[in-house]
Amino acid sequence: RKEVEQDPGPFNVPEGATVAFNCTYSNSASQSFFWYRQDCRKEPKLLMSVYSSGNEDGRFTAQLNRASQYISLLIRDSKLSDSATYLCVVNRRYGGATNKLIFGTGTLLAVQP
Amino acid sequence: EAEVAQSPRYKITEKSQAVAFWCDPISGHATLYWYRQILGQGPELLVQFQDESVVDDSQLPKDRFSAERLKGVDSTLKIQPAELGDSAMYLCASSSTAQPPYEQYFGPGTRLTVT
Protein backbone atom coordinates (compact mmCIF):
# COMPACT_ATOMS: atom_id res chain seq x y z
CA ARG A 1 0.00 0.00 0.00
CA LYS A 2 1.32 3.46 -0.89
CA GLU A 3 1.89 5.92 1.91
CA VAL A 4 -0.19 8.57 0.11
CA GLU A 5 -3.09 7.42 -2.04
CA GLN A 6 -5.11 9.41 -4.53
CA ASP A 7 -7.65 8.60 -7.22
CA PRO A 8 -5.62 9.08 -10.44
CA GLY A 9 -8.68 10.22 -12.40
CA PRO A 10 -8.99 11.66 -14.93
CA PHE A 11 -11.74 13.95 -13.73
CA ASN A 12 -13.43 15.49 -16.76
CA VAL A 13 -15.65 18.38 -15.70
CA PRO A 14 -17.34 21.29 -17.52
CA GLU A 15 -16.31 24.87 -16.89
CA GLY A 16 -18.00 26.26 -13.82
CA ALA A 17 -18.33 22.90 -12.10
CA THR A 18 -17.26 22.15 -8.56
CA VAL A 19 -14.83 19.27 -8.22
CA ALA A 20 -13.41 17.55 -5.16
CA PHE A 21 -10.25 15.49 -4.81
CA ASN A 22 -9.57 13.15 -1.94
CA CYS A 23 -6.38 11.76 -0.54
CA THR A 24 -5.51 9.41 2.31
CA TYR A 25 -2.20 8.91 4.06
CA SER A 26 -1.09 5.96 6.10
CA ASN A 27 1.66 7.29 8.36
CA SER A 28 0.32 8.99 11.46
CA ALA A 29 3.74 10.65 11.94
CA SER A 30 2.94 12.93 9.02
CA GLN A 31 3.12 16.49 10.21
CA SER A 32 2.21 18.89 7.47
CA PHE A 33 0.21 18.61 4.32
CA PHE A 34 0.08 20.26 0.94
CA TRP A 35 -1.55 20.27 -2.43
CA TYR A 36 0.79 20.80 -5.35
CA ARG A 37 -0.25 21.47 -8.92
CA GLN A 38 1.70 20.08 -11.87
CA ASP A 39 1.04 21.12 -15.44
CA CYS A 40 1.88 18.69 -18.22
CA ARG A 41 5.65 18.20 -18.50
CA LYS A 42 6.34 20.96 -15.95
CA GLU A 43 7.57 20.99 -12.38
CA PRO A 44 5.22 20.70 -9.39
CA LYS A 45 4.26 24.01 -7.81
CA LEU A 46 2.85 24.53 -4.37
CA LEU A 47 -0.87 25.27 -4.57
CA MET A 48 -1.64 25.51 -0.88
CA SER A 49 -0.83 24.14 2.52
CA VAL A 50 -3.53 22.26 4.36
CA TYR A 51 -4.41 22.91 7.99
CA SER A 52 -6.65 21.08 10.42
CA SER A 53 -8.89 24.11 10.66
CA GLY A 54 -9.36 24.08 6.90
CA ASN A 55 -8.19 26.87 4.66
CA GLU A 56 -9.43 28.67 1.61
CA ASP A 57 -7.65 30.51 -1.17
CA GLY A 58 -10.09 32.02 -3.62
CA ARG A 59 -11.89 29.18 -5.38
CA PHE A 60 -9.79 26.53 -3.63
CA THR A 61 -10.59 25.01 -0.24
CA ALA A 62 -8.44 22.42 1.50
CA GLN A 63 -9.41 20.29 4.48
CA LEU A 64 -7.48 17.95 6.74
CA ASN A 65 -8.93 15.28 9.01
CA ARG A 66 -6.09 13.94 11.14
CA ALA A 67 -8.25 11.33 12.86
CA SER A 68 -9.21 9.79 9.51
CA GLN A 69 -5.85 10.64 7.88
CA TYR A 70 -7.75 12.22 5.04
CA ILE A 71 -7.07 15.34 2.98
CA SER A 72 -9.34 17.00 0.46
CA LEU A 73 -9.22 19.77 -2.12
CA LEU A 74 -12.34 21.47 -3.43
CA ILE A 75 -12.26 23.64 -6.55
CA ARG A 76 -15.29 25.81 -7.19
CA ASP A 77 -16.25 27.44 -10.48
CA SER A 78 -13.66 25.45 -12.46
CA LYS A 79 -11.72 27.29 -15.16
CA LEU A 80 -10.04 25.86 -18.23
CA SER A 81 -6.74 26.96 -16.68
CA ASP A 82 -7.34 24.64 -13.70
CA SER A 83 -6.61 21.66 -15.96
CA ALA A 84 -3.55 19.99 -14.44
CA THR A 85 -2.48 17.15 -12.16
CA TYR A 86 -3.07 17.78 -8.47
CA LEU A 87 -0.59 16.10 -6.16
CA CYS A 88 -1.40 15.34 -2.55
CA VAL A 89 1.73 15.67 -0.44
CA VAL A 90 2.51 14.91 3.19
CA ASN A 91 5.59 15.95 5.12
CA ARG A 92 6.91 13.40 7.57
CA ARG A 93 9.58 14.00 10.15
CA TYR A 94 12.04 11.20 10.79
CA GLY A 95 15.52 10.76 12.21
CA GLY A 96 15.35 13.83 14.43
CA ALA A 97 15.28 16.99 12.37
CA THR A 98 14.92 15.46 8.91
CA ASN A 99 11.75 16.07 6.96
CA LYS A 100 10.60 14.18 3.91
CA LEU A 101 7.86 14.96 1.41
CA ILE A 102 5.84 11.98 0.26
CA PHE A 103 3.90 12.54 -2.95
CA GLY A 104 0.77 10.85 -4.15
CA THR A 105 0.57 9.80 -7.77
CA GLY A 106 -1.62 12.79 -8.57
CA THR A 107 -5.16 13.30 -9.82
CA LEU A 108 -5.59 14.54 -13.37
CA LEU A 109 -8.21 17.25 -13.88
CA ALA A 110 -9.45 18.18 -17.34
CA VAL A 111 -11.86 21.11 -17.46
CA GLN A 112 -13.90 21.10 -20.64
CA PRO A 113 -15.28 24.22 -22.39
CA GLU B 1 10.86 35.88 -7.66
CA ALA B 2 13.79 33.60 -6.79
CA GLU B 3 13.82 30.28 -8.62
CA VAL B 4 15.60 26.95 -8.55
CA ALA B 5 17.78 26.59 -11.64
CA GLN B 6 18.49 23.28 -13.35
CA SER B 7 20.46 22.29 -16.41
CA PRO B 8 20.26 20.82 -18.89
CA ARG B 9 16.51 20.90 -19.46
CA TYR B 10 16.65 17.88 -21.76
CA LYS B 11 19.21 15.13 -22.14
CA ILE B 12 19.28 12.17 -24.49
CA THR B 13 21.95 9.61 -23.86
CA GLU B 14 22.73 6.06 -24.82
CA LYS B 15 22.65 3.32 -22.22
CA SER B 16 25.96 2.70 -20.48
CA GLN B 17 26.96 6.35 -20.92
CA ALA B 18 27.50 8.78 -18.04
CA VAL B 19 25.19 11.74 -17.51
CA ALA B 20 25.21 14.62 -15.04
CA PHE B 21 22.60 17.13 -13.94
CA TRP B 22 23.16 20.42 -12.17
CA CYS B 23 20.99 22.34 -9.72
CA ASP B 24 21.30 25.78 -8.13
CA PRO B 25 18.78 26.23 -5.30
CA ILE B 26 17.12 29.42 -4.16
CA SER B 27 19.67 31.58 -2.38
CA GLY B 28 19.75 30.91 1.34
CA HIS B 29 17.92 27.59 1.15
CA ALA B 30 19.95 25.13 3.19
CA THR B 31 18.03 22.02 2.16
CA LEU B 32 18.30 20.63 -1.34
CA TYR B 33 16.49 17.62 -2.77
CA TRP B 34 16.82 15.51 -5.89
CA TYR B 35 13.70 13.68 -7.04
CA ARG B 36 12.96 11.31 -9.88
CA GLN B 37 9.51 11.39 -11.48
CA ILE B 38 8.45 8.63 -13.81
CA LEU B 39 5.55 9.46 -16.12
CA GLY B 40 2.22 8.97 -14.37
CA GLN B 41 3.71 8.88 -10.89
CA GLY B 42 4.53 11.41 -8.22
CA PRO B 43 8.10 12.53 -7.56
CA GLU B 44 10.19 10.16 -5.44
CA LEU B 45 13.06 11.42 -3.32
CA LEU B 46 16.51 10.23 -4.35
CA VAL B 47 18.70 12.28 -2.04
CA GLN B 48 18.39 15.13 0.44
CA PHE B 49 21.15 17.50 1.52
CA GLN B 50 21.28 19.76 4.54
CA ASP B 51 23.99 22.26 3.59
CA GLU B 52 26.78 20.01 2.24
CA SER B 53 25.78 16.89 4.17
CA VAL B 54 23.62 14.05 2.90
CA VAL B 55 20.77 13.44 5.32
CA ASP B 56 18.85 10.87 3.29
CA ASP B 57 20.02 8.84 0.33
CA SER B 58 18.13 5.67 1.18
CA GLN B 59 16.38 5.60 -2.21
CA LEU B 60 19.46 6.47 -4.28
CA PRO B 61 20.73 3.50 -6.36
CA LYS B 62 24.27 3.92 -5.17
CA ASP B 63 25.78 1.45 -7.59
CA ARG B 64 25.17 3.91 -10.41
CA PHE B 65 23.97 7.21 -8.94
CA SER B 66 26.00 9.76 -7.02
CA ALA B 67 25.22 13.22 -5.74
CA GLU B 68 27.30 15.96 -4.23
CA ARG B 69 26.88 19.46 -2.85
CA LEU B 70 30.46 20.32 -2.06
CA LYS B 71 30.07 23.91 -0.87
CA GLY B 72 26.54 23.61 0.37
CA VAL B 73 25.11 25.64 -2.49
CA ASP B 74 24.72 24.07 -5.94
CA SER B 75 24.58 20.34 -6.51
CA THR B 76 25.31 17.71 -9.13
CA LEU B 77 23.57 14.39 -9.67
CA LYS B 78 25.42 11.83 -11.77
CA ILE B 79 24.38 8.53 -13.31
CA GLN B 80 27.01 6.13 -14.55
CA PRO B 81 26.24 3.98 -16.42
CA ALA B 82 22.77 5.04 -17.51
CA GLU B 83 20.16 2.34 -18.04
CA LEU B 84 16.95 2.37 -20.06
CA GLY B 85 14.91 2.43 -16.85
CA ASP B 86 16.52 5.71 -15.81
CA SER B 87 14.44 7.60 -18.35
CA ALA B 88 12.45 10.06 -16.26
CA MET B 89 12.20 13.67 -15.14
CA TYR B 90 14.85 14.58 -12.56
CA LEU B 91 13.67 17.39 -10.34
CA CYS B 92 15.64 19.48 -7.92
CA ALA B 93 13.93 21.31 -5.09
CA SER B 94 15.02 23.48 -2.22
CA SER B 95 13.53 24.66 1.02
CA SER B 96 14.21 26.87 3.98
CA THR B 97 13.94 25.05 7.25
CA ALA B 98 13.62 28.23 9.21
CA GLN B 99 10.02 27.44 10.07
CA PRO B 100 7.30 24.91 9.27
CA PRO B 101 5.70 23.71 7.10
CA TYR B 102 8.87 23.25 5.06
CA GLU B 103 7.46 24.12 1.68
CA GLN B 104 9.65 23.00 -1.19
CA TYR B 105 10.26 24.90 -4.40
CA PHE B 106 11.01 22.93 -7.53
CA GLY B 107 13.19 23.69 -10.50
CA PRO B 108 11.99 23.07 -14.09
CA GLY B 109 13.57 19.61 -14.13
CA THR B 110 15.82 17.70 -16.50
CA ARG B 111 14.01 15.28 -18.77
CA LEU B 112 16.32 12.32 -19.39
CA THR B 113 15.82 9.86 -22.21
CA VAL B 114 18.08 6.82 -22.32
CA THR B 115 18.17 5.01 -25.66
pLDDT tens-digit profile of A27-76?
A: 888 888 999 999 998 999 999 999 888 899 999 999 999 999 999 999 99
CB-based contact, A75 to chain B, within 8 Å: no
Mean pLDDT across A78-96: 90
Taking the CA of residue B42 and the nearest CA in chain A, the distance in Å comes to 4
Of all residues in chain A, the one with the smallest CA distance to B53 is A98
Query: Residues A27, B91, A11, A57: is their CA dihedral positive or negative?
Result: positive
Option in B41, B89, B100 nearest A32 (CB): B100
**Looking at the predicted structure, is the pLDDT value of residue B99 above 60?**
no
| Residue A93 CA from chain centroid, whole number | 19
CB-CB neighbors (< 8 A) of B102 in chain A: 32, 91, 99, 101
Report the candidate in A18, A26, A21 with the shortest Cα–Cα distance to residue A6: A21
CA distance A73 to A47: 10
Cα B84–Cα B12–Cα B58 angle in degrees, nearest 5: 50
- Cβ–Cβ < 8 Å for A42, A54: no
User: Distance between CA atoms of B8 and A58, rounded to whole angstroms?
Assistant: 36
Q: Which residues of B touch A95 (CB under 8 A)?
A: 55-56
For B42-75, the pLDDT digits (tens) are 999 999 999 999 989 999 999 999 999 989 899 9
Whether A23 contacts chain B with CB within 8 A: no
How far is it, in rounded angstroms, from Cα B25 to Cα B5? 6
